[in-house]
Amino acid sequence: MKFNWEQQTVVLTGAYGGLGRALSDELDGKGAHLLLIGRNEEKLNVLKSSLSNRVTAVVGDVSSQESTQQIARLLSDHNSEQHMLINNAAISHPGFLMNQSVAEIKQLMDVNLLAPILLTQQLLPWLKQARRAQIINVGSSFGGIGYPGFSTYCASKFGLRGFSQALNRELSDTQITASYLAPRAMSTGINTSAVDRLNEQLGNAVDEPQNIAQQLIKAIEKKQTEKFFGWPEKMFVKINALLPGMVSKIVKKDQPTIQSLLNDEVKS
């Protein structure tokens, strides 16, 4: 059966960021009804003005209970044949654990892990109203590979992956599916200058948000419940699951470069 985006009401968090904007453009072009969520009212309104009249913008922080309750109330007037929640909002505080503040760690876990869990919980009644519904958690290759200098970010994405898998099994007797779709490095504002230099020096591929958005949409249309994008990253995810010691040896060779660049960022 062909996937019909015109029957979809889609809630998208982190809407005006690099990947969020690319997803907004693609989904709007396919005829979906969008409810876009972001913290910055000006950026959100600029995005909305570039899209069709099927778009509703909500200014709010996904890590705030007040915002999630507001979203749930708004959705009572946004029903269609199919409902979708895309948990895309994320932040990153790259650096070795000893250099991170308690506030940074808590903020990262709130936005990347706790917010998707709580927003999903809040919207489950709305999702259940549709004939078919999907929960899409946007992950990362670092949800399958623990990488030095990104320990807290990896923890949040490993957690999101486990949540997605468990929730999908919880919902197996309903019309709702939960998916974890994981891009590799992207050219977006989430990267610091040190991360950009790190990717360049290590020869890591960095994808454009538009390409990732198109790949995510294809995976959604195929109803894939877990997918890692990019070669060789997805291969390393599989190797890491079976032979983590082998991946540790490979990564250790990059340790001096990682430590040098991320420590330089802390000093600056």
Reported as a single tens digit per residue, the pLDDT across 68-90 is 888 999 898 888 899 999 999 99
How confident is the model over 215-239, as a mean pLDDT?
Answer: 95
Q: 49: Cβ–Cβ under 8 A, 6 or more apart, which residues?
A: none
Provide the residue ranges of all domains of the chain, joining segments of one domain with +. Answer: 5-267
d(CA 113, CA 153): 10
Strand ranges in 81-161 using DSSP code E only, listed in sequence order: 82-87, 132-138
How confident is the model over 204-211, as a mean pLDDT?
Answer: 90
Evaluate if residue 23 carries a pLDDT over 90: yes
pLDDT of residue 244: 95
Percent of the chain with pLDDT over 70: 98
Q: What is the DSSP letter of 172?
A: T
Q: For 124-142, what is each residue's pLDDT tens digit?
A: 999 999 999 999 999 999 9
CATH class of the region 5-267 = alpha beta
Two structure tokens written together for 237: 């995810």
d(CA 68, CA 83): 16
How confident is the model over 183-209, as a mean pLDDT?
Answer: 84
Between 193 and 144, the more confident residue is: 144
Is the Cβ–Cβ distance between 180 and 137 less than 8 Å? yes
Between 199 and 213, the more confident residue is: 213
Structure confidence at residue 34 as a pLDDT band (50, 70, 90): very high
pLDDT of residue 1: 61
pLDDT of residue 203: 80
How confident is the model over 166-195, as a mean pLDDT?
Answer: 91
pLDDT of residue 198: 86
pLDDT of residue 265: 56
pLDDT of residue 268: 46
Between 51 and 79, the more confident residue is: 51
* Whole-prediction pTM: 0.94
